[in-house]
Amino acid sequence: EAIFAVHSAPLPTGQFGSQPGMMLPGLDLIKITLSGDGDFAAAAEACSNVIAGVSTTAGLAPDHEANDDPMDAAMDPGAFISAGAFSSEAAGDDWMVTGMARASSEQMHARAKSGIEKGLAALALDGIEYKLLYIERAIAPMNNDADLVARADKLFRSIGGDAAVLTLGETTPFFSEDFAFFQEVVPGAMFFMGVSNAEKEIVGMPHHPMFVADEAAIAVGVKNMSLVLLDFLENGAER
């Protein structure tokens, strides 16, 4: 058994991008409930800053000096945490701050959680108490099967040459994908399919309000993924 998926992306029309291993990070969900008689707005802003404050940048260097965390010394150069609050609103008599943290590894997920717990504990919230609900892996990390990716890349190149394939080379820090839950059951691979066309002034950025896709990508996508499915049905896992 295997499972495959395709997602539009701002790559050149018809180009397919992917990589073996982690392609998209997992997502932790953070809910902070504030209660009391103090200034909810100020407390919510402080909590939001704590969540955002655990973020790093992709490609963080081992000698990063943002803090004295000893984990920095052993950090992978491609390690990252991408975190922030996306909702702050009244919840009955209380106030709720909701956020998320994406990370490149289990180590970085642990770092995010620890940083948020310590940051909240250090806040001086006059007249306000907080309760933290930290839901680890609300969305699992998306890990592509290396064999499935390699076989698909070979098929794509057989049609469009080397330019038809892009190996991403690093985990994209700003998105997560629930396709990852299917990959926990059976081996799978997701591919980004390019829908941008510079000549037509089309930039196919997903989830953007001005999203437009070059429809010429549809035929390429159908052909490519049909080959992938036929190859797997005819040859199986080939492990």
Which stretches within the chain are classed as H helix? 40-53, 106-121, 146-160, 179-183, 216-235
Q: What pTM value is reported for the model?
A: 0.79
Topology of domain 3-24+142-235, CATH? Aminopeptidase (3.40.630)
| Whole-number Å distance between alpha carbons of 63 and 77 | 10
What DSSP string describes 206-238? Answer: TT-TT----THHHHHHHHHHHHHHHHHHHHTT-
Q: Using 50, 70 and 90 to split pLDDT, how confident is the model at 49?
A: very high
Tokens 């402080």 sit on residue: 46
Q: HSE-up of 150 (CA within 13 Å, CB side)?
A: 7
Average pLDDT over residues 160-187: 90
Least confident segment among 74-78, 132-136, 145-149, 219-223:
74-78
| 99 and 84 Cβ atoms separated by less than 8 Å | yes
> How does pLDDT run across 91-116, given as a tens digit for each residue?
999 999 999 999 988 899 999 999 99
CATH-assigned architecture of domain 26-139: 2-Layer Sandwich (3.30)
- Alpha carbon 171 to its chain centroid, in Å, reads 8
pLDDT given for residue 73 in this prediction: 39
Residues 6+ apart with CB under 8 A from 76: 104, 105
Residue 124 has pLDDT above 70, yes or no: yes
Q: Which residue has the higher pLDDT, 11 or 73?
A: 11
Residue 141 has pLDDT above 90, yes or no: yes
Which residues make up the CATH 3.30.70.360 domain(s) of the chain? Answer: 26-139
Instruction: Provide CATH 3.40.630.10 ranges for the chain.
Output: 3-24+142-235
Phi and psi based region of residue 70 (left: phi greater than 0; alpha: psi -120 to 50; beta: remaining): alpha
Instruction: Supply the mean pLDDT for the chain.
Output: 89
pLDDT confidence tier of residue 70, bands split at 50, 70 and 90: very low
